Amino acid sequence: MAINSNLFGRYVWLIDTIRSHGRITYNEINELWQQSGLSYGEELPWRTFMHHKKAIMEIFDINIECDKKDGYKYYLEDAEALGSDRLRTWLIDSYATLNQVQADKRLEGRIQFEEIPSGNRFLTRILEAMRRNSVLWITHQGFGRDHASSFKVEPYFVKVYNRRWYLIGRTPAYDQVRIYALDRMQELEILDETFSMPKDFDIHRFFEGCVGIIADKSTDIEEVVIRAYGPARNYLSTLPIHNSQQEIACDEESTTYQYHVRPNFEFLQALLGQADQIEVLKPEGVKEQMKEVARNILGYYGEK
């Protein structure tokens, strides 16, 4: 189904409005639509509303149901499943915000976004290649390399982490699945050559136990326990370092969290991001790594 950006924005507005209210009548939706800035003061006709409802099902696979027993209120069927689908939620949230900014000039200049480095200029072409299972020819220069290299990549997945986009794909020259930062790419070409996506490749298993983008399987998954103090307690409870994070103890001064992770560089960086407000309780190996980092930092300031 081909749709223009205006229609797409209307669909996202409707999804977001029903999602944020939980249950809402058509009349209430119509009133909010007229106030939204997208409508230019015009009503949302019943027939148009029903067309939008059908299109949302076809495009987003989101079913808008009506509870006649509750005053003909509309709601999103299986809203919990939508909340757990991070891609659809991200798309809806992003476009809903864009709707608001474009529709209301009073918000212009009052919303600040984090910039993602220029590698995102390759993103749409990579997604196009993924959709067609087309092989890519890329020129890439990783950090620490004194020159760029050109080679083929079979694009499997893309991932955004810490303000950078990454391509995860098989590199035929090495017969390995590798990770490439888009902002380190210099050139990209979609080839006529195609590949078959492996049915047994699981991106979640590929990054199992990993924090960030380093999928280093040389480090085993371990149970790591930390104690958080001060503001770090609330920060970690609302923004977990890893999806395995569990709160296992809490008192007036601290909260204890447990993880099952590969304690790699990026995991240590996540812990260090809490400065002096976290303490590693176990295992000993991770405690020693944190001690070594602390000694190095002290060394920069002339302390031993």
Distance CA 190, CA 193 (A): 8
pLDDT at 65 exceeding the cut of 80? yes
Residue 304: is its pLDDT beyond 70? no
Tell me the per-residue pLDDT of 43-57, one tens digit each, with 9 for 90 and over.
999 999 999 999 999
3-state secondary structure of 248: strand
Q: For residue 102, what are the β-bridge partners?
A: none
Q: What is the mean pLDDT of residues 142-171?
A: 91
Closest C-alpha to 6, from 76, 98, 113: 98
26-52: burial string, b at 16+ Cβ within 10 Å, e else: eeebbebbeebbbbeeeebeeeebeeb
Q: Is the pLDDT of residue 41 over 60?
A: yes
Whether 274 shows a pLDDT value over 70: the answer reads: yes
Phi, psi for 76 (deg, rounded to 5): -85, 120
Helix/strand/coil percentages in the chain, nearest 5: 45, 25, 30
Q: What are phi and psi of 12, to 5 degrees?
A: -65, -40
Q: Provide the pLDDT for residue 1.
A: 46
pLDDT on residue 2: 45
Q: Which amino acid is at 106?
A: R
For 19-63, give the secondary structure using H, E and C: HHHCCEEHHHHHHHHHHCCCCCCCCCCHHHHHHHHHHHHHHHCCC
Q: Is residue 4 over pLDDT 60?
A: no
Select from 86, 87, 58, 63 the least CA-distant residue to 75: 63
Q: What is the DSSP letter of 252?
A: S
Residue type, 277: Q
For residue range 177-219, list pLDDT tens digits in order: 999 999 899 999 999 999 999 999 999 899 999 998 888 777 8
What is the structure's pLDDT at 61?
86
DSSP label at residue 112: -
Say what the pLDDT of residue 103 is.
Answer: 62
Most confident of 150-164, 203-217, 247-261: 247-261
Please tell me the pTM assigned to this model.
Answer: 0.72
Percent residues over pLDDT 70 in the chain: 88
Query: Using 50, 70 and 90 to split pLDDT, how confident is the model at 37?
Result: confident
Taken as a whole, the chain contains a residue count of: 304
pLDDT of residue 71: 93
With a pLDDT cut of 90, the percent of the chain lying above it is 60
Regarding predicted confidence, which is higher, 227 or 123? 227
Q: Which helix (H) or strand (E) holds 149?
A: strand 149-161
The pLDDT value given to residue 118: 62
